[in-house]
Amino acid sequence: MFSLQSKKYTIFYSLLSLNLLLWVQSCKETPSNPPSQPQMNVAPSPSEEVQEQEPPISNNAVRKEFSEWNNYPTLDTAIKILENGDSTFFKTPIEDINQLFLDIKKSIPTSLKTNGILARVKVTETLSRKLHELYNVENTDLNELDQTKIDLIESHNNLIFQINKTREKEAQQILKPI
């Protein structure tokens, strides 16, 4: 009799545990898409993607930096024009692009000479050179050209974001108690 009763309790606790486990699992969030609707991943065309991208930050903080950083407005203007579809700056001789980035690197204000900003300037420089080369090659893959444009615009937005982040960090100088 004792063994029969212990088996009943064992079965009862097992079923109770299983029900508890199933109840906890059913409380989790349901998927956002109902299972009856299949998910479709449609890649937007590069022109649509460029238009949909909005800079995640404002350029207001960067504008005051132009007074300290003489050559940056030229790059900023060239990329803004590229966003609108005009790529004439990147069709200029490579020496002009090289000189622009050399001047940008030389004239970076000391408050902005951080590794993050220097790295983002270098990425923007590399993508600018790549875009220049793609415009000068006769058999250019249009998908690669469009992707390079998108990457260049994104790298420029990342540079602006890093400048804003650096300025914001400077403005939050917290005095530590001695």
pLDDT of residue 63: 55
The DSSP secondary-structure symbol of 71 reads T
Asked which of 62-71, 86-95, 107-116, 117-126 is least confident by mean pLDDT, the reply is: 62-71
Which one, of 101, 153, 157, lies nearest residue 129 by Cα?
101
Higher pLDDT, 4 or 152: 152
pLDDT of residue 122: 95
CA 85/CA 56 separation, integer angstroms: 20
Residue with tokens 């990342």: 158
pLDDT by residue (tens digit) across 96-154? 999 999 999 998 888 888 999 999 999 999 999 999 999 888 888 889 989 999 999 99
What are the structure tokens assigned to 172, written together? Answer: 């939050």
Mean pLDDT of the chain: 77
pLDDT of residue 43: 44
- Residue 13: pLDDT over 80: no
Residue 8: band (very low, low, confident or very high) from pLDDT cuts 50, 70, 90: confident
At residue 118, φ and ψ (nearest 5 deg) are: -60, -40
Q: What is the mean pLDDT of residues 168-177?
A: 80
* Sequence letter at residue 78: A
pLDDT of residue 87: 85
CA 133/CA 147 separation, integer angstroms: 14
Q: What is the mean pLDDT of residues 19-26?
A: 65
pLDDT of residue 9: 75
Give the DSSP H/E element, type plus range, for residue 96.
Answer: helix 94-106
For residue 97, the number of C-alpha atoms closer than 13 Å in the C-beta half-sphere is 22
